[in-house]
Amino acid sequence: MWRSEDWKDYELLDCSGGEKLERWGKYLLVRPDPQAIWLTPRTDKRWQHPDARYARSSSGGGAWEFKHVPQRWTVGYRDLTFNVKPMNFKHTGLFPEQAANWDFCMDAIRSAGRPISVLNLFAYTGGATVACAAAGASVCHVDAAKGMVQWAKENAQSSGVSDKPIRWIVDDCGKFAQREIRRGRRYDGIIMDPPSYGRGPSGEIWKLEENLWPFVELVAQLLSDQPLFFLINSYTTGLAPSVLTYILETLVTKKYGGHTESQELGLPVTGSGLSLPCGATGRWMAG
């Protein structure tokens, strides 16, 4: 399991009974987590006094219960700064377990010894975009949601990389990739974090299990002659990390060499010393 060990402004304090107790800066949040199915005792008294809690509704969905949380605040990871806020469906605009992938990308870029261009698809609020830009890469950030791209720009500003070579694109990732292929544009690194399920701008349905292979097959055409890395992240429950290995080995390694590693992502749990699983990542690396 790849774990994010270097957070100072985020901490997973405890998890049990389908919920997790987290510290985001100085604020305590309780949020649902479907992986935390164990029923260990909640001995940490902070469970009883969070600053905000996302409560599930018996009829579906849920809502935040606020006490002492501002509309938004910032958290830092190493030299990066991100804006977070409680938003619909339990999220905060940042997935802290992704720091393990940010570290991987930054290390690869800094070790390359040459200019690196990165394509970040389904880029959300730009955690990977900001990390790659801070490491010295030029980045193309693509997400279909205009609000998420604006949020990513704010994260770039907060992290001091807004003057770096970043292209901000609001578009369907598949349609954008097709146009980039026709333009002859190529990238040394590709990052993608596709949703489990979604609908395209014309109503087309995206299901990860059905669409991931053809999508990676398409996007792999955007790799440069000397690619550095190709990273796929998945939060789809039941999709084993080895599936990502199989896809990347078949579509990338056979052409470029290198090798693939895939693991669960996880967060260390302070209370138990164990790890909460948080999806899977496959990483193809050159060399």
CATH (domain of 146): 3.40.50.150
Residues 65 and 101 in one domain: no
pLDDT of residue 197: 83
- Per-residue pLDDT, averaged over 240-255, amounts to 97
- Per-residue pLDDT, averaged over 239-254, amounts to 97
For the stretch 112-138, pLDDT in tens is 999 999 999 999 999 999 999 999 999
**What's the Cα-to-Cα distance from 98 to each of 19, 68, 179, 280, rounded to whole Å?**
19, 27, 28, 10
Tell me which of 199 and 208 has the higher pLDDT: 208
- Longest CA–CA separation in the chain, Å: 58
pLDDT of residue 152: 98
Choose among 6, 8, 2, 12: nearest CA to 273. 12
Percent with pLDDT over 70 in the chain: 99
Percent with pLDDT over 90 in the chain: 89
Strand partners, 207: 197
Three-class secondary structure of residue 12 per DSSP:
strand
In a domain, 190, yes or no: yes
Domain of 172 in residue numbering reads as: 96-285
pLDDT of residue 201: 64
What is the number of domains present in the chain? 2
pLDDT of residue 278: 96
For the stretch 209-230, pLDDT in tens is 889 999 999 999 999 999 999 9
Residues 117 and 258 in one domain: yes
Give yes or no for residue 200 having a pLDDT over 90.
Answer: no
In a domain, 43, yes or no: yes
For the stretch 71-103, pLDDT in tens is 999 999 999 999 999 998 899 999 999 999 999
Residues 192 and 59 in one domain: no
Residues 40 and 129 in one domain: no
Residues 112 and 172 in one domain: yes
In a domain, 37, yes or no: yes
Residues 135 and 225 in one domain: yes
In a domain, 85, yes or no: no
Considering only 15-24, 168-177, 197-206, which range has the smallest mean pLDDT? 197-206
CATH (domain of 17): 2.60.40.1180
